[in-house]
Amino acid sequence: MARPYWSGQVQISLVSFGVKLFVATEAKSEIRFHQISRSTGERVRHQKVLSSALEDSPNEAANPVAKDEIVKGYEYRKGEYVIIEPKELEQLRVPSKHAISVTQFVDMSELSPEYLEKPYFLVPEDDVQAEAFAVVRAALKKTKKAALGKIAFSGREHIFAIAAAENDDLGGMMGYVMRYQEELRDPAEYFKEIKKVPVNEDSLQLAMELIARKSSPFKASEFKDGYEAAVRELVEAKVKHVAVPQEEETPRRAQVVNLMDALRKSVGEEESGAVVAKKPSGSVKASKSETKRGISLVKAGKASGKRRSA
């Protein structure tokens, strides 16, 4: 098992038990880009240098600053900094660095998606903590509640929600770092220009019927990153010096004039189980490129210049 990202206590009134946190997500992309020189193909490296060296001699290479010479600094006045040592940050009096003190419980339905930032796996610190862990997990599961507290890591204190994981056979809990209210932009600034229009009851019923017909259980494994697959295809084509894949131009659909007609046809398509329903007059014809979103090959240009390895 990987090393825990954080370990400490969960405190609920007089109940306390040790837990370990593990990051629940990981980057799966196999595509990695580097910055290289267009003229030589060599890798471009970034070095940390003194700003004064660049200001005094902008056209000359500056000497890099040694890693152990670099510390954190807070600019309290223009151009003036106070140095903050790593040990000083470690010794800050922040109780949530070592314990999540639960301050309240909320319904799971109250955890709006826009507040949830990153998930973590919670496990008991050891076998001794397993009983208290299991009891609290079962209580959260039955009441459909989440425990809220605070946790400090990565240079700040976060709101933290703890909930029972869905899979009862595994017996784990989930933790979610949450955003503060002031981190969210005011939705009114973006929604205020939306025109207020009356909702036709018949249109609403058809829309609800369309949603019902297209509803199915969520299966995360069925969703794949199509952009990454396209980038990999592009990279392989360039490495092999073959035609570079390009996206086909998608024909524009005719403008929908009547919402009711569009809803009726959509429901009809879903009812028949076909992607494209039979074509009554005035309907949009589906082209081959609409039903098969592929990538076509274009004629490759003649490669020029000496290719260098990055």
Whats the size of the chain, residue-wise?
310
- Region of 282 on the Ramachandran plot (φ > 0 left; ψ -120 to 50 alpha; else beta): left
> SS3 for 91?
coil
DSSP tag of 43? B
> Taking the complete model, does pTM exceed 0.75, yes or no?
no
In a domain, 41, yes or no: no
Dihedral angle of Cα 280, 281, 287, 290, to the nearest 10 degrees: -70
Residue 268 CA to residue 77 CA, distance in Å, equals 67
> What's the rounded Cα separation, in Å, for the pair 149 and 96?
9
98 lies in the same domain as 158? yes
Residues 245 and 155 in one domain: no
Q: Are residues 10 and 138 in the same domain?
A: yes
Residues 164 and 258 reside in one and the same domain = no
Residues 18 and 142 in one domain: yes
Domain count, the chain: 2
- On whether both 10 and 109 belong to a single domain, the answer is yes
Is residue 146 helix, strand or coil? strand
How far apart CA 118 and CA 120 sit, in angstroms, is 7
Reading the block at residue 34, the tokens are 């580097």
Beta carbons within 10 angstroms of residue 157's beta carbon: 15
Q: What sign does the CA torsion over 155, 157, 163, 164 have?
A: positive
List per-block mean pLDDT (blocks of 10 residues) for the chain, which spans 310 residues: 92 96 87 90 90 83 88 93 91 93 96 96 96 97 97 94 95 97 94 93 93 91 86 89 81 70 85 50 39 35 40
For residues 290 and 16, is the Cβ–Cβ distance under 8 A?
no
Question: What sign has the CA pseudo-torsion 108, 113, 114, 119?
Answer: positive
Task: Assign residue 171 the CATH number of its domain.
Answer: 2.40.290.10
Report the pLDDT value the prediction gives residue 203, as an integer from 0 to 100: 93
Residues 19 and 123 in one domain: yes
* Domain shared by 104 and 177, yes or no: yes
Shared domain check, 113 and 17: yes
User: What is residue 183's predicted lDDT score, i.e. its pLDDT?
Assistant: 95
| One domain, residues 107 and 242 | no
Q: Of 121, 154, 183, which residue constitutes the final position of a domain?
A: 183
**269, 276 Cβ separation under 8 angstroms:** yes
- Alpha-helical segments (H) within the chain: 51-56, 86-90, 130-143, 188-191, 201-214, 226-239, 259-272, 288-291
Q: Collapsing DSSP states into helix, strand and coil, what is residue 44? A: coil
Domain that holds residue 242: 224-297
